[in-house]
Amino acid sequence: MTEAWQLIERAKSVTLLTHVNPDADTLGSALGMYHILKNMGKKVHIFNATRLPYNLDFLPGITKVRNAFQEAECYISFDAGSFDRLGIKNECSPLINIDHHATNTRYGTYNIVDPTAAATAQVVYDFCKANGAKIPKESALCLYAALVDDCGFFKYESVDASVFEFAKELCEAGAQPEYVAQMLTMREPLAKLRLIQKVLATLELKINAKVAIVYLTQQMLAETGGTKEMADDALNMARSLATVEVAVLLRQEEDGRIKVSLRSKSRVDVGAIALSFGGGGHKRAAGYTSDLHDFDRVLQQLLNALQGELVEL
């Protein structure tokens, strides 16, 4: 950790890398670091290869995120379990890999990975704090947004006393919980509600109602004007059913491939299942992308894998 910080201190320019199809944790973590590095007098670029989520437009510095890669003296990635999640064709070095996924492949020159952390934002904060960095209020807000989004506003099993202490310190540094909650949860577009309605209409229950399946097609997106990340709430609604242990969203990508998102309640390690299909994630939230273009075939493969996990539940 000390060598990684020394690398940052020596570098005049730093490029921050966020993963494709970004969420609040990758962007909030990167933007939290952005403001810290700017205070240190660094020249900082933030890269993302894909479209940014509509609901994160309130994060300070979000307009600095670009889809044009900039070379620098140092690179830092955030919340990306593998290098290919960054959407970069050429390798970059030296690279500091900051993450909290147990399935992280340790692809960095330096790997700061803590699977016990509730969010990558917590790893970023601990890293910067341990090295005496000042946390400006802009960073505190970005890191707080990343934290609450990734732990479901303190609902998930990753939440413990250290998470609340982290949130407390962010609030003391200037984060505003009510503002963040409003920005993340109280600005839903009509297109999202229409899309969720269509996705929930596809609901199927499998394996004695222990698995809930919902589908998202490109046609649904076209008909509603929604975006693919808007369907995540439908997946969480499916998981909330009393009998369900695992919820699955099968999403048709633009190229026809099927993206599989998995959520479990308390018993099934969906991260291990996703890893077996070439993906990754956490015990309770994970995913992978199949090269198959057929919903039925992808679902049957997944159900075969889940059958053994659920047989005794």
For the stretch 248-268, pLDDT in tens is: 999 999 999 999 999 999 899
Give pLDDT, residue 308: 85
Q: Which CATH number fits domain 190-310: 3.30.1950.10, 3.40.640.10, 3.30.1050.10, 3.10.310.30?
A: 3.10.310.30
Cβ atoms of residues 171 and 137 within 8 Å: no
169-224 residue pLDDT tens: 999 999 999 999 999 999 999 999 999 999 999 999 999 999 999 999 999 999 99
Tokens of 7: 């690398």
Contact 15, 130 (CB under 8 A): no
C-alpha 109/C-alpha 92 separation (Å) is 10
| Range(s) within the chain of domains with CATH label 3.90.1640.10 | 2-185
pTM (two decimals)? 0.92
Res 148 pLDDT > 70: yes
Sheet holding 246-252, edge to edge: 204-206, 211-216, 246-252, 258-264, 285-290, 280-281
Residues of the chain with CATH 3.10.310.30: 190-310
User: pLDDT-derived band of residue 90, with 50, 70 and 90 as boundaries?
Assistant: confident
**Sign for the pseudo-dihedral over CA of 45, 71, 113, 263:** positive
Give me the pLDDT at residue 201, please.
98
Q: For residue range 272-293, list pLDDT tens digits in order.
A: 999 999 998 889 999 999 999 9
What are phi and psi for residue 75, nearest 5 degrees?
A: -125, 140
312 confidence band (pLDDT: 50, 70, 90): low
Q: How far apart are the first and last CA of the chain?
A: 42
CATH superfamily ID and name for 2-185: inorganic pyrophosphatase (n-terminal core) (3.90.1640.10)
* β partners of residue 281: 286
Nearest to 65 by CA among 89, 47, 38: 47
pLDDT interval class at 147 (50, 70, 90): very high
The predicted model gives 71-79 an average pLDDT of 98
3-state secondary structure of 239: helix
pLDDT at 1: 65
The overall average pLDDT reported for the chain is 96
Q: Closest Cα to residue 15, out of 81, 67, 54, 84?
A: 67
* Residue 211 near residue 246 (C-beta atoms within 8 A): yes
